[in-house]
Every structure is written in structure tokens, then in C-alpha cells.
Amino acid sequence: MKGLDVLGASKSGTGKTAAYTLPLLNKLHKVVKKDQKVIRALIIVPTIELVDQVSRSLNDYGKYLDVTNVKIQGGIPKSAQLERLKKGTDVVVATPGRLQSLIADKKIHLEHVQTVILDEADTMLDLGFLGEIKAILNYCGKERQTLMFSATISQNIKKLAKDFLIDPAIVEVSQRRDIVDFIVHRAYKVDKSRKAELVAKLIKDKSLNQVLLFVSSKEHANKIYEYLKKKNIRTSIIHGDLNRGARAKSLALLKSGKTQVLVATDIAARGIDIPQLEMVINYELPEHTDDFTHRVGRTGRAGHKGQVISLITTTDYDAFSKIDRHLKLNIKRDIYPGFELTDKQPRQKQPKKKSLIERKGGYDFHKKKMEKRSRATQRGKNKKSDSRKKK
């Protein structure tokens, strides 16, 4: 509200979108003119799903205000977006790629933009949008307020903030591990060849009707999608190769209850908001702890209890231990009945037997004792040397 640049972080599901759209609407409704619409605010997000979510929030919160917004995103013909821009708008919500394309075509003008918001900044870094964002900001008004939001403040986000923000106020509401407060975590060890079978068994045994199932690649997404369909489990799919319409339809099917499972790559971990989502299943672990945080943040939102199941094979043990340690979760690794392990398990490290020195107080104690003896010996030598000099 004071016009400062802001670097903001808060866990998923706590209302970051409301945190920046409400003050923005308050700011804009005082200056907008119905017959002289110019783009005064720009919100850049990484995915088309998040464009839809932010635009919907602006419409809901600004229902009784004369503040309009236009979505600029892939998957929709440029002509339709240009028609809406011609009518005039106060806010543009955009993905970087499509927005830069319209700028290059000289179809959009941002010189009046006084507020720039970068949401899910960490995801935009991961997706390689840094160059596009830098280019876009060059076209915005020089006197502007810039706000950057993320679920966590990593070293990369801090570096990005130095490039884009001027003496920002830093607001970090919670640590990333706080996301687990409303989430019950379980982990099942399973043979590699029986992982898909276990997913189907869990869905049927637990009568799950709304599951977001995460995989690491589009190829694996397609495989588990086909497998679950053959098992008569109502399943939809979402990944980067699908167009906007197909992705929106898959998400809508899960929200409406027409499908039980939505198979997704990590692109769906950002910006998807499913009220009271029943379950997240990590079919495959993500590479980074932050990605794990974003995935599980799709459940346990807005104070509702959530559940997460992670399936781990022998090749996942170390990675899972790392995530578990970083987030201080202490998740017990169970074996689901009927899925006893046959894969060769890695050898457990045997606790090293303590030496006599360690049992009697440890190496430091022994070292100090030896140093004390050495000093006493040296003092004795020094006394002898002094007496000889006197003689």
C-alpha cells in the first residue's frame, strides 16, 4: 500500500493471490477512468492455469469495481485477445511467452504500467523465462512498483530480486516445512514392477474419488494414465504437450468429480487450486525439495486436512531421506499388505563400534588429555632449561 517493492513468500494455499490482488484493486479503482482505459498493472505468471486463476480472483474480488482485466496466454488465438485489448483494460494477466510475442508484433503497449507483479517467480526461473521477463520489463513504465511472490525464498529468488526490485520489503510468512501442518504423510516401499498396481489398489481400497497423481515426465504420465483406465479407474491427464483446452478440461473433470484421478507432471503443481483436494500421490519423486513442497501444497489448503502418499522404490531411498530430512517430516516407510518386497534392498549401514577412547569420553576428551600431558612435559623441559642458564 505504501508503494514499496516487495519480495513475498508464503506456503501454498494461504492466499498469496488475494494478498496482492486486493491492494492492487484498491489502488486502481481510485484512478481508473471508464472511458480512458490504459494498462496500469501487469501480472506475469508461469502457466495458463495460473492466468485463469488470477483473472478469476480479480473478477471475484473486484465484482463491484470498474476495474477490468484481460488474459494473455497460449492456447487461445491471438485475434481473440487483441479484440479484448482494443476495448481497453486496466490489468493484463499474462504468461511471458505470449506477452513477449504481442510486444514484438507491437500489438500491446505497456508504457503506462505502474505496477508489475511476478507470481510463482521460482517456477518462471525453472521454466527458463528469465530472458523474456527482463525484456518485458524494459517496456513497462520506469516509475513503477514491482512485487515478486513465491512459495519459498531460495538463493535464486534472492538473486532475481536484486535484478528486478529496488530496496524491497521482504515478507516471509512461513517456512516451507510449515506446509505439512495440515497434511498427513505416508510412504510405501514397493517393487519397481508393481508401482502402478499399488496405485490402483490404493485408489480402490481407500475409495478415493479425487486424487492428483504426480509423475516426473510426460512419457510416464501417459503410461500410468493408460494403465489406470484399463483398471476401470476414471482418469484424466495434464502435461505440457496438451493444448490449453485439453488441460482445462482434464482439470474440470477432476473438480466436478467426473474423474477420480488427474495424472500430472510438475507443471500442474503450480497454480492449480482444487478446494479440499482429497489426496496427492507422488508416483515418482521430484528432483528438488521445493517441487515436493509445491506438489503436496495442492492438498491441505486453506486450513483443510490433506493426505499425501509417496511411493518409493530402492532407487528413491536416498532422495526421499533428503526430502524427509529437509522438511523434518519423519515419515515412516511402510509396506502395503500384499506388496511384500522382492527387489534387492540396498545394504543398511551398520553402526560403527565405538573405540575405547570414544567410550571413555570421546576423541575430544582424549585429545585434551594428551594436550595437557604435552604441556606438562614442556613446562618440565622449560624449567630444566632455565636452571641450566642460571648455572
- Return the CATH number at 281: 3.40.50.300
Position 270 scores a pLDDT of 64
120: left (phi over 0), alpha (psi -120 to 50) or beta: left
The answer to whether residue 381 scores a pLDDT higher than 90 is: no
pLDDT in tens, 92-143: 999 999 999 999 999 999 999 999 999 988 888 877 888 899 999 999 988 9
Which of these, 114, 95, 140, lies nearest to 40 by C-alpha position?
114
Q: How far apart are CA 375 and CA 382, in angstroms?
A: 10
Q: Write down the pLDDT at residue 352.
A: 56
Q: How many domains is the chain built from?
A: 2
Q: Which of 90-94, 235-239, 285-289 has the highest mean pLDDT?
A: 90-94
Q: What is the DSSP string of 98-122?
A: HHHHHHHTT----TT--EEEE-SHH
**How large is the angle between the packed helices 155-164 and 130-137, nearest 10 degrees?**
20
Q: Are 142 and 86 found together in one domain?
A: yes
Cell numbers describing residue 350: 551398520
Q: Which of 152-166, 216-230, 308-322, 326-340 has the lowest mean pLDDT?
A: 152-166
Spatial contact of 117 and 42, defined as CB atoms under 8 Å apart? yes
Judgement on whether residues 185 and 122 belong to the same structural domain of the protein? no
Asked whether residue 381 is assigned to any structural domain, the reply reads: no
Q: Which of 287, 308, 334 is the last residue of a domain?
A: 334
Query: In this structure, is residue 212 part of a structural domain?
Result: yes
Percent of the chain whose predicted confidence (pLDDT) is above 90:
51
| Pair (184, 327) in one structural domain | yes
Residue 285 lies in a domain: yes
* Residues 111, 32 share a domain: yes
Q: Does residue 210 sit in the same domain as residue 243?
A: yes
Res. 41 pLDDT band, cuts 50 70 90:
very high
Q: How far is CA 91 from CA 23, 25, 143, 366, in A?
A: 13, 10, 17, 70
Q: Which three cell numbers, joined as nine digits, stand for 248?
A: 482445462
pTM over 0.75: no
pLDDT confidence of residue 142: 87
Domain boundary at 317, 334, 351, which?
334
* pLDDT, greater one: 194 or 141: 194
Residue 387 above 90 pLDDT? no
Domain that holds residue 117: 6-174
pLDDT at 249 exceeding the cut of 90? no
pLDDT at position 28 is 95
The residue among 174, 189, 221 that closes a domain is: 174
